């Protein structure tokens, strides 16, 4: 689920793991790689049914403070508002606020939905409905 892809409180789904990684040195590429690592993966990053679930709950957020002031291009605030809106949505579906917070931390994915309409960034918080058994 949300191992760092939307982790909203101290703990997501933690695990111990052993992995095998192959690296390749790209001579002369040091200066361009200083902006951040680049990588490729030969298969799905996440199983398709979880990366784009057929049924999901979603809420969006924009960089607008509680007092109505638009803090244009504040992606952190847009993320916060998307998650708060998702927590509210989960509460409307019967979960307590604390339960909704934990569910969001372990199962929500954050997606940047819009950065082109400056200053109104939009972030979406999604949870696959398949995680709920009730």
Q: Which residue ranges make up each domain of the chain? A: 30-131
How confident is the model over 23-55, as pLDDT tens digits? 777 777 666 655 666 667 778 777 776 666 778
30-131, which class in CATH?
alpha beta
Concatenated DSSP letters of the chain: --SSSS--SS--S-------------TT-HHHHTT------SS-SS-HHHHS-SSEEEEEE-SB-TTS-B-TT-HHHHHHHHHHHHHHHHHHTT--HHHHHHHHHHH-EEEEEE-SSTT--EEEEEEEGGG---
Give the percent of the chain with pLDDT over 90.
Answer: 41
What percent of the chain has pLDDT above 70?
78
């Amino acid at each position: 689920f949300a191992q760092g892809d939307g982790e909203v409180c101290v703990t997501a789904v933690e695990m111990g793991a052993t992995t095998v990684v192959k690296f390749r040195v790209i001579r002369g590429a040091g200066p361009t790689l200083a902006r951040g690592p680049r990588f490729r993966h030969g298969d799905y990053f996440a199983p398709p049914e979880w990366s784009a679930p057929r049924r999901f709950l979603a809420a969006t957020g924009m960089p607008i403070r509680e007092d109505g002031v638009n803090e244009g291009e504040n992606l952190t605030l847009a993320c916060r508002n998307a998650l708060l809106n998702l927590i509210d949505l989960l509460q409307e579906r019967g979960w307590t606020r604390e339960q909704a917070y934990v569910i969001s931390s372990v199962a929500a994915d954050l997606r940047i939905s819009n950065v082109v309409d400056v200053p109104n960034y939009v972030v979406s918080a999604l949870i696959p409905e398949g995680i709920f058994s009730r």
